[in-house]
Amino acid sequence: MAKKTGVFICSGCGIGESLDVDALVKVAAKECKAPVCKTNGFLCGKEGVELIKQDIAAGELDCVLVVGCSNRVNYEAFDFGPSVVVERVNIREQVAWSQQPNDEDTQAMAEDYIRMYMAKAKTVEAPEPYIAENLSKTIMVVGGGLAGMTAAIEAAKANYQVLLVEKEAALGGWLNKVYKLAPVKAPHTELEDTNLEARIAEINDNPNIKVYTSAVIEKTAGGPGLFDVTIKQNGNEIIERAGAIVLATGAVPYNPEKLGHLGFGMSPNVITQSMFEEIAKKGTITRPSDGKEVKKIAFIQCAGSRDQEHLPYCSAACCIESIKQSLYLKEQDPEAQAYVFYKDIRSSGQYEHFYKKAQMAGVMFIKGDVTDVSEGDEGTLVIEADDLLMGDKTMADEIDLIVLANGMVPTTAFEEGVYMGLGAVAAVTEGAGEAAASCDAPAVPPATIIKSNILNLQYRQGPELPDLKYGFPDSHYICFPYETRRTGIYAAGSVRRPMDMGQSVGDGVGAALKAIQCVELTEQGAAVHPRALDISFPDFQLTRCTQCKRCTDECPFGAINEDEKGNPLINPTRCRRCSTCMGACPERIISFKNYSVPMIGNMLKAFEVPEEDEEKPRILIFACENDAIPAIDMAGISRLQLNAWIRIIPVRCLGSLSLVWINDAMSRGVDGVLLLGCKHGDDYQCHFMKGSELAEIRLSKVSETLDRLGLESERVQARTVSIMDYEVIPKMLAEFMEKIEELGPNPMKGF
Amino acid sequence: MVNNTILVVGGGISGLTTAIEASEVGCEVILVEKNAYLGGKVTQINQYFPKLCPPNCGLEINFKRIKNNPKIKCYTMAEVENISGQEGDFDVTIKINPRYVNENCTACGKCAEACPVERSNDFNYGLDKTKAIYLPHEFAFPAKYVIDPKACAGSGCTKCADVCQYGAIEPAMEAKTVTIKVGSVVWATGWNPYDASKISCYGFGVYPNVISNVMMERMAAVNGPTKGKIVRPSDGKEIKNIAFIQCAGSRDENHIHACSSVCCMASLKQVTYVREQYPDAKIAVYYIDIRARGKHEDFYVKVQNEMNAVFIKGKAGEIKEDPATNDLIVIAEDQINQVLTEEKYDLVVLATGMQPATALSKVPAAMSYDEDGFLASDPASPGIYGAGCVSKPADVAAAVQDATAAALRAIQSVRRRNNG
Amino acid sequence: MVDNKISSAPIKYDNTFAKEIYSLENGHYVKMCMQCGMCAVSCATRQIMDYSPRRLFNLIRAGKKEEFMRSNTMWMCTTCCMCKVRCPRGIPLVDVMHDLKALALKQGYVEYPQAAFYQAMWAEAFGRGRVFEGGIMARFYLKRGWNEIKKALGMKDLGMEMLKHGRMPIVPPRKIKGLKSLQQIIQRAQSLQEKEAK
């Protein structure tokens, strides 16, 4: 616990012109009894920083309150090493720049912030990392296809031990079936060898890589640094410890049996892309029906993909694959004819060169909808189509072979062999319903987990990575494509999202880096993204636990299991420090050294709530520190006027919102509480998936309590704020204030 | 002695990612950025597709990761002039251009209030102006002002220095050169929008109401020149008819040969910007192929179903202007209906493609490039790797993926040398 | 533009004709067309072409030889080069059009007046080594028949004016020196061209 807190108030940047700094000093020194309180006109300057340093040296301060600008700026200037806790009290952007200068309410706000942060300083402690024992830095790669082999090789090249687990007898996955690869390097026009033998040799020759083939994973227990993986191989069970996991089990072709409307099943000469690869790999491209050399071939693109009845998504690789396959035939016989029926040719990026190559070879591309596939004479096939660019009905006959570009489905989308990816319903985790009932709280919608029998995670929240959409366990974030909801497990390649071979290679490398990063940070007891390097972790006072299971239900990362008695069993290395569990716990037994329910509770009890007759209402704002707080800062930077009655408390995530804070605030006479968090729903922007959504669900519960107390539930509201909403915030506050004024003052004032 | 430091050149989303990801593995990283701020092109983007979320949200997280991580050292306004030596032992010369504002700057903004001269705001592609001393944008990281020496009134004027209470203005600041030693290099200087004025039949730069997609991003952004309102540059009027023209420079033997891979999705996204502001506007998209790959298809379907936009299969061939009204006439062949169309629009947005920065400014080392100037994937110089849009046209997710992979390559590079 | 619709039966793809075109000197460029339609818009005579070059290429690829031969597209080409300059696939459309015209002439598809004019012009140039306007006109009208001659007579006033101002000589110019050699050169070039195309 911080014992000696020094307060340093900056009067620069207009603070001194807007506020009575001497009065602030009085609040800090007299009222809050700060042992040291000094002011400076340029605190972030050399002299100002020196001032703080001297006092740290002389007075053995272990906590410094820098009262001035936002912690978004000048972070380097106020770094005094790990032994000194620095709290930044933002009276620049949030007070001096966004409130009436030299106004008593502005002054009151700044004084309150000093009180609040002094209260915080009393509770805050420097965190110490959780260092687990017997940590492994081994990277386990599941799936020995292109992405998996790449991840294994690349991790090994960076000097990590690698376990590569493949369910088939041989490595290679999809590459085993493929004749050649589409170009992955300049000039992007030449077919490339799969180099499968060389890749496998590289793996076998690398002493850092241990390969398990014909092996499946029975179960995966533990967490980052401590994954205990039971591998079943030839009837034997082997347990290996791994630090992080790359999931690279790839995708499989969409079931062609469902493509009867395109002739599959009608004739043996209607085949899929993978069947065509096998034919090409064998040598001469011939018709399956009679072995006649193929002279005329047609590819039907989007066979299944981009089709609401089948796969609503685009499978991303099929255009390139068909271009490649048409070139196989052209390679065999330049006079052979190849048609490609397409919706859009998606040879994105440098694959445009490859598209041109096929055009040059004489492959004919037809933008059209295939309306019928039928049998012609002597084993040939006939395609009828609407040629959109001809504006007419067209037909192609005497076709020897039709290849359906039947798209891809991730291996994680199947449950007992059944494709679940389409509109898969959330698998209800065992006990979740019961837990919700026992706690008298609205149920949290659980993440969809398809029991695809790949990792068999021993996680209370389900055995596999949560599905994002269509069965792909992808990241939801554009700027963080490797964000994962199961810490230390990174999906790579076509299991993650539809992708082509070139992308799979890159993805394998990227996922390997993330896995490596995870084992390194875990070794230091630090969190991975987005709170990277954070060494705080949640402490559970289990003696007071009522086994309500809220924390285990709500943890977005599945970090908490249960023991036999139903007590939460935290896996600290899985924890991402979002503090959702802290907010979820009705008994308030979960806290971090530097972030806790009492800490925020003390802050909200520290500001003054004027008597009713003073007509100075108080609005307490809990704002997400990732988006809402910067947005409020931006309002200040843009010199927008904010409401004078607000008091803002930043939170790690709205998911950490404890209802007791609202109760405490209301019973102090605070007139309204506003939660500012990130957008939720399908396109959620919360960095911890569901924080703001959970907070709102909790709110619906508190409203009943408020009603019982005779307080209007509208006094507590949640709003969605993005980082760019700073122009909107003043209006939002004004509207909320209007509502509060309508309701009148909180009758609890003065009790 | 092998140097384990990794140099990352370019502080856009790719460079930032490589730098942060490598540093979180434990490596020392030096990040060099040409601009006065980090974040590169994505800072100028209003929303990412398909989530329609603001880039500043992810950047804020990334900047926080930098702030918390002493292993990353950033140089802004800096350019790499020379790389010599070899993998594990490179000598790199970095030129740091003068900001004319030192570390004392608190970003209080007094200087800009006092500054008497204006400059065209390149952050907003010239659509508005800033003072000669300016903060590049609200979210600028580092949050320090900078003086544009070309616009500054010079030694005769000391107005900014006079009002600055922190001694932050240094008119005498000069460019300096530093030499550092690093083990490996990741080149992530990104891309530039293709110069649309080279596509003469579209009249960009001549007709005021023909804008590029990057300009559209600025116009739609709340911190942009119009505070987020999409209007005609010629007269500030609201939009009734708008056209998006795909492949303005991409997939073109006369311009960028490759497909830029992002413009289709970018235009679909911009359709949603327009629709949100103008529920009744007529929106048309002229295209060759709509390349909404993978799960992005969902977004394409959504735009088709909900945005009431017309998709015209046919590359726009020519744009003419009515000089009296500055209205634009787009001529194209509507290939589905087999007719030539001439439609009038208030505003035309060119989906100008991505040109790799390396097309104009090469890596100062022996590297190989493809026909458009993208770095070839097999490095001619071991220890130097491309990341992001210098390697291939990529959207943000793909660039970040590539940059993450580049971080591992750079780490392997230094570790390999350590072993050897 | 006209409708492609020739009959109610679906158009059958047949690459025999396409192969014939691909074997012309610049014919293979037709393969590179990605159907963007830039040429359709760039063309100076786009309003009077029945098929845009893009559609013409589509006809070739589908194998619709008759429709192709009956179209006016290549004859309307004024070789202004705009399409060639703008084509994103870098197809030298003007050169392709030249080859297409030559093919049509060779195979006797000469009903467009432009075809007769080209032939007349060429015969003049080949036979004399230089061009005599009167000669071209005479050849042109003889080729086109009585109806065209009637039309030409309707333009007699214009003709008189041109004669008066010396814009149209009555007396043919002399043949150039070494005409034989020129003709040999041309013939040689033609045979080379044919050989190379194959």
* In a shared domain, residues A511 and A555: no
* In a shared domain, residues A144 and A237: yes
How many Cα atoms occupy the beta-carbon half-sphere of B93 within 13 Å?
Answer: 10
* In a shared domain, residues A284 and A298: yes
For residues B271 and B242, give the distance between their C-alpha atoms in angstroms, rounded to a whole number: 9
pLDDT band at B71 (very low <50, low <70, confident <90, very high): very high
Nearest to C41 among B251, B255, B331 (CB): B331
Nearest to B333 among C54, C85, C89 (CB): C54
Is A728 a domain residue? yes
* In a shared domain, residues B137 and B179: no
For residues A453 and A471, give the distance between their C-alpha atoms in angstroms, rounded to a whole number: 13
* In a shared domain, residues B206 and B253: yes
For residues B346 and B381, give the distance between their C-alpha atoms in angstroms, rounded to a whole number: 50
Which chains neighbour B (Cβ–Cβ under 8 Å, 3 or more pairs)?
A: A, C
> Closest by alpha carbon to B14, among B36, B42, B37?
B42
For residues A712 and B231, give the distance between their C-alpha atoms in angstroms, rounded to a whole number: 43
* In a shared domain, residues A400 and A434: no
* In a shared domain, residues B368 and B343: no
Q: Note if the bond before A473 is cis, omega within 30 degrees.
A: no
* In a shared domain, residues A630 and A728: yes
CB C162 within 8 A of CB C168: yes
**Residue C188 has what DSSP assignment?**
H
CB A72 within 8 A of CB A26: no
pLDDT mean over B353-375: 95
CB A382 within 8 A of CB A399: yes
* In a shared domain, residues B322 and B394: no
> Closest by alpha carbon to B16, among B51, B63, B50?
B63
Ranges of residues in chain A whose predicted pLDDT is under 50: 1-2, 427-439
Q: Which residue of A has its CA nearest to B265?
A: A348
Counted domains in chain B? 3
Is A293 a domain residue? yes
**Bridge pairing between strands B347-352 and A401-404:** unpaired
The DSSP string of A142-209 is E--SHHHHHHHHHHHHTT--EEEE-SSSSTTGGGGT-S-B---STTS-S-B---HHHHHHHHHH-TTE
Q: Note if the bond before B142 is cis, omega within 30 degrees.
A: yes
* In a shared domain, residues B207 and B292: yes
CB A375 within 8 A of CB A368: no
Answer with the one of A467, A488, A523 that is the final residue of a domain. A523
User: B314 is in which domain, residue-wise?
Assistant: 195-352
> Closest by alpha carbon to C108, among C45, C65, C141, C57?
C65
pLDDT at A438: 45
Kindly provide the residue ranges of all beta strands, DSSP E only, lying in B33-113, ordered along the sequence. Answer: 72-75, 78-86, 89-96
User: A190 is in which domain, residue-wise?
Assistant: 139-252+411-523
Contact: B317, C37; criterion CB under 8 Å = yes
* In a shared domain, residues A586 and A627: no
Beta-bridge mates of residue B82: B93
What residues of A are in the C interface, CB distance below 8 Å?
A: 337, 339, 345, 355-356, 359-362, 364-367, 384, 387, 389-397
- pLDDT mean across residues, chain B: 96
Is A658 a domain residue? yes
Is A184 a domain residue? yes
* In a shared domain, residues A428 and A553: no
Q: Which residues of A touch B336 (CB under 8 A)?
A: 388-389, 391
pLDDT digits (tens, 9 = 90+) for C43-102: 999 999 999 999 999 999 999 999 999 999 999 999 999 999 999 999 999 999 999 999
- Chain B contact for C35, CB < 8 A? yes
CB B371 within 8 A of CB B255: no
Answer with the one of A383, A406, A429 that is the final residue of a domain. A406
For residues B329 and B332, give the distance between their C-alpha atoms in angstroms, rounded to a whole number: 10
* In a shared domain, residues A272 and A243: no
Q: What is the CATH number of the domain that holds A291?
A: 3.50.50.60
Q: Residue A440, exposed/middle/buried by CB under 10 A (0-12, 13-18, 19+)?
A: exposed
Contact: B318, C37; criterion CB under 8 Å = no
For residues C13 and A338, give the distance between their C-alpha atoms in angstroms, rounded to a whole number: 11
- Find the helix packing angle between B396-419 and A501-523, rounded to 10°: 60
Nearest to B253 among C3, C37, C90 (CB): C90
Backbone angles phi, psi at A280, to 5 degrees: -65, -35
Contact: A185, B378; criterion CB under 8 Å = yes
- Taking 90 as the threshold, does the pLDDT of residue B180 lie above it? yes
For residues A255 and B39, give the distance between their C-alpha atoms in angstroms, rounded to a whole number: 44
For residues A96 and A92, give the distance between their C-alpha atoms in angstroms, rounded to a whole number: 5
Contact: A337, C61; criterion CB under 8 Å = no
Distance from CA of C69 to the nearest CA of B (A): 19
Sign of CA dihedral B376, B378, B382, B383: positive
Answer with the one of B332, B352, B372 that is the final residue of a domain. B352
* In a shared domain, residues B256 and B343: yes
pLDDT at B419: 61
Exposure string for B404-420, b = 16+ CB within 10 A, e = fewer: bbbbbbbbbbbbbbeee
The runs of H, that is alpha helices, within A548-651 are 550-554, 580-584, 597-606, 628-637
pLDDT band at B123 (very low <50, low <70, confident <90, very high): very high
Is A529 a domain residue? no
CB C33 within 8 A of CB C54: yes
- Taking 80 as the threshold, does the pLDDT of residue C8 lie above it? no
* In a shared domain, residues A368 and A467: no
Counted domains in chain A? 5
* In a shared domain, residues A51 and A157: no
- Taking 90 as the threshold, does the pLDDT of residue B288 lie above it? yes
Q: Which residues of C touch A393 (CB under 8 A)?
A: 10-11
For residues A157 and B359, give the distance between their C-alpha atoms in angstroms, rounded to a whole number: 31
* In a shared domain, residues B250 and B366: no
Q: Which two tokens stand for residue B112?
A: 């800009």
Backbone angles phi, psi at A343, to 5 degrees: -95, -55
Q: Which residues of B touch C88 (CB under 8 A)?
A: 247, 251-255, 315
For residues A492 and A134, give the distance between their C-alpha atoms in angstroms, rounded to a whole number: 27
CB B195 within 8 A of CB B103: no
Is A317 a domain residue? yes
- pLDDT mean across residues, chain C: 88
Q: Note if the bond before C92 is cis, omega within 30 degrees.
A: no
Is B105 a domain residue? no
pLDDT mean over B59-70: 95
Q: What is the CATH number of the domain that holds B328?
A: 3.50.50.60
* In a shared domain, residues B339 and B366: no
* In a shared domain, residues A339 and A368: yes
For residues A343 and B289, give the distance between their C-alpha atoms in angstroms, rounded to a whole number: 8
> Closest by alpha carbon to B356, among B325, B387, B335, B333?
B387
> Closest by alpha carbon to A657, among A731, A711, A723, A600?
A600
Q: What is the pTM of this model?
A: 0.95
pLDDT digits (tens, 9 = 90+) for C164-195: 888 877 888 888 999 999 999 999 998 887 77
* In a shared domain, residues A229 and A259: no
CB B202 within 8 A of CB B244: no
Distance from CA of A271 to the nearest CA of C (A): 21
For residues A684 and A699, give the distance between their C-alpha atoms in angstroms, rounded to a whole number: 18
Is A437 a domain residue? yes
Contact: C41, B318; criterion CB under 8 Å = yes
* In a shared domain, residues B235 and B317: yes
Sign of CA dihedral A623, A626, A631, A636: positive
Q: What is the CATH number of the domain that holds A654?
A: 3.40.50
> How many CB atoms sit inside 10 A of residue A588's CB?
17
pLDDT at A157: 96
> Closest by alpha carbon to A505, among A494, A518, A516, A490?
A494
What is the H or E stretch that residue A517 is in? helix A501-523
For residues A499 and A472, give the distance between their C-alpha atoms in angstroms, rounded to a whole number: 11
CB A632 within 8 A of CB A642: yes
Mutate to test the interface with B, among C2, C6, C41 (most CBs of B within 10 A): C41
Q: Which residues of B touch C89 (CB under 8 A)?
A: 253
Backbone angles phi, psi at A262, to 5 degrees: -105, 15
Distance from CA of C26 to the nearest CA of B (A): 17
Answer with the one of A406, A426, A446 that is the final residue of a domain. A406
* In a shared domain, residues B185 and B39: yes
> How many CB atoms sit inside 10 A of residue C66's CB?
11
Q: Which residues contact B44 (CB under 8 A, 6 or more apart)?
A: B123, B214, B217, B218, B221
Sign of CA dihedral A345, A347, A353, A355: negative
> Closest by alpha carbon to B6, among B31, B33, B42?
B31
The DSSP string of B231-245 is --TTT-PPPSEEEEE
SS3 at position A44: coil
pLDDT at C2: 47
Distance from CA of A674 to the nearest CA of B (A): 21
* In a shared domain, residues B135 and B42: no
pLDDT at B418: 65
* In a shared domain, residues B179 and B291: no
pLDDT at A424: 53
